[in-house]
Amino acid sequence: MTADEDRIVDLLRRLDPEPVRPVRVDLTAAVHEARRRRRSRRTMSVSAAGLAVLAAVSVPLVVGGGPSAGPASQPASPSTSGSAPATIAPPATTAPGGPTACTAQPLPVPGGHAKSLVTGGDPTGRFLAGRSYPGDGRGNPVILWDGDRAREYRLPGSDQRMVDVNAAGVAVGSVYLDDRPQPYVIRNGRPARLPGLASGEATAVSADGRIVGARQIGDRQRPVLWSDPDTAAVELPLPGPRWEGTAIGVDSAGTVVGKIHDGPSGVTRTAVWRAGGGGPELLPTPSVEGGPASEFVAHSLRGGWITGVAFRDEGKVRRIYPARYHLATGRYEPLPSGVSPSAGNGRGWVVGPVDRMDAGLLTDAGTLRLPDLDGRTGRYAAVAVSVSDDAAVIGGQLDVEPGQKSLVMRAIRWSCR
């Protein structure tokens, strides 16, 4: 991105898209019109064409089991598809159920900027990473929190985001600079560009400092590994020349997990590269309520658990199920429904959206909704992006003035017990 374009981005970010008059939208009329269209076969067939266009780009996503699914309802039962041998998982282990209550606390923001959010966290719960929005034309300062101590880092470019941190406080992510994403690391308090790629991003860091991510080539990505922050990235082998994707997790044993697909329209597969090289193992999909999932998209690798989302297409509705795969046993283990996972922890528990406005923690015991600052739920557009291995610390954000014209998001730490 040129300096001019940086400037334009900054001006755009500050552009206030507030129409200078009240809204003229009649919800009663919308309800009546919707009912009329539902009744009218002719109109339905006309609007169906329009809806098909919409459906093509945004298939309704439904959390399997429904938002009120209780702890024991409809666990995703394990099975396989494709060529892998069928495995039967044991029933859910009797591990302690996880936290039963959480409280929300705004994280301190250097400079006191109104808008901030959390972008990642470490497995122990000590470190969180995030960013703020000073609107000073220099992009987003990255913030690393060590407990309650916040430190700000000014990285070059724009859209700076550190998406993972390890227990030593090493954070990885990317910035958008010179018209392309570029991988960055912050180590020992010093930001540095990761070597070996003209363009790309880092997505995860292991306890011993291995980093994974993707090389960006035009519109395509290819999974890469940095064996340490000073060594140039190497591409991970893919099943064929058209395959592309990104690595999403790495552990200290050298195992890498990614999401890859065969060409731009291929179904996303979860890939596992074991230490020692060789092509990736492609995981089968789990069985979910109603049959085999069509897709399993991994979001995290923590403590030997790959957590992510299983999709099952039923007509025009795409149902979402949380799913977790245990690397040591090679099996999907049941997980109650209720949350659409965005990140997981070393127990195979996940955090993610629940219903429309809430975020939740999903453990073996079921869903725990994360409260807002007043201890209530349902009004504050909560987002959870990281969860520690004991689930005592969850990082995310809350809209602090819900329903107001100016949505102000604040970086939040939920402390759970």
Partner 1 sequence: MPDASEQEFVEYFRARLPMLQRLAYSLCGDGDEADDLVQETATRLFQRWSRASRADHIDAYVRAVVVRLFLDSRRKGWWRIRLFAAPPDARHAEDGGVEDRTVLWAALARVPPRQRAVLVLRFLHDLPVDEVARTMGCSAGTVKSQTSHGLAAMRRLLDGADLVETTKGAA
Near partner 1 in 96-125, by CB under 8 A: 113-115
Q: Does 45 bind partner 1 (CB under 8 A)?
A: no
In this chain, which of 17, 91, 189, 240 binds partner 1, going by CB under 8 A? 17
Q: How far is CA 302 from the centre of its chain?
A: 14
CB of 228 to partner 1, least distance (A): 27
Q: How many CB atoms lie within 10 A of CB 315?
A: 6
Cα 210 to Cα 109, 214, 228, 304: the distances in Å are 29, 14, 5, 16
- Give the Cα separation of 247 and 114 in Å (integer): 33
- 409 pairs with which residues across the strands? 399
DSSP state at residue 211:
E
Applying the rule CB under 8 A, the residues between 369 and 388 that interact with partner 1 are: 381
Residue with tokens 């690391």: 185
Q: Does 278 bind partner 1 (CB under 8 A)?
A: no
Judge contact between 174 and 201, C-beta under 8 A: yes
In this chain, which of 20, 91, 188, 328 binds partner 1, going by CB under 8 A? 20
Judge contact between 267 and 294, C-beta under 8 A: yes
* β 331-333/317-326 pair status: antiparallel
Q: Does 24 bind partner 1 (CB under 8 A)?
A: yes
- Give the Cα separation of 208 and 272 in Å (integer): 19
Applying the rule CB under 8 A, the residues between 179 and 238 that interact with partner 1 are: 179-181, 216, 218-221
Residue range at the interface with partner 1 (CB under 8 A); choices 20-28, 99-107, 149-157, 361-369: 20-28
The closest of 191, 195, 112, 116 to 156, measured between CA atoms, is 191
CB of 30 to partner 1, least distance (A): 4
Collapsed DSSP state (helix, strand, coil) of residue 195: coil
Applying the rule CB under 8 A, the residues between 310 and 339 that interact with partner 1 are: 317, 320
In this chain, which of 45, 58, 83, 94 binds partner 1, going by CB under 8 A? 58
**Residue count, binding to partner 1 (CB under 8 A):** 75
- 397 pairs with which residues across the strands? 383, 411
In this chain, which of 90, 108, 137, 279 binds partner 1, going by CB under 8 A? 137
Q: Does 166 bind partner 1 (CB under 8 A)?
A: no
Per DSSP (E only), the strands in 4-90 are 61-63
CB of 352 to partner 1, least distance (A): 8
In this chain, which of 130, 134, 308, 344 binds partner 1, going by CB under 8 A? 134
CB closer to partner 1 out of 228 and 235:
235
Q: Does 39 bind partner 1 (CB under 8 A)?
A: no
Q: Does 49 bind partner 1 (CB under 8 A)?
A: no
In this chain, which of 41, 57, 189, 328 binds partner 1, going by CB under 8 A? 57
CB of 85 to partner 1, least distance (A): 32
CB of 354 to partner 1, least distance (A): 9
Judge contact between 166 and 121, C-beta under 8 A: no
